[in-house]
Amino acid sequence: MNDLHSRLAELLEVDEVGPADVLAESPLWDSLTMLSLIAMLDAHFGVNINVADLREIKTAGDLEVLIATRKRA
């Protein structure tokens, strides 16, 4: 999911994001970023999630698992 990590880094305006990185620790992690992430996941990965889903995840790795689960469903 390197593409996911690259896109997350772009959204959070950091150099890189790894699986263990806690998303909520980013100063840019707010409702607007969450909406941008939801739109990006739909456009680039064909995965539909909502804000409630994002509130349940902590790390970029958790997001990877959510995406993989939704892709199989």
40-56 pLDDT tens trace: 999 999 999 999 999 99
Q: What's the predicted TM-score (pTM) here?
A: 0.89
CB neighbours (10 Å) of residue 58? 14
Whole-number Å distance between alpha carbons of 57 and 62: 6
Whole-number Å distance between alpha carbons of 38 and 58: 15
pLDDT of the residue at 1: 53
Q: Which residues of the chain have pLDDT under 70?
A: 1, 73
Whole-number Å distance between alpha carbons of 60 and 1: 10
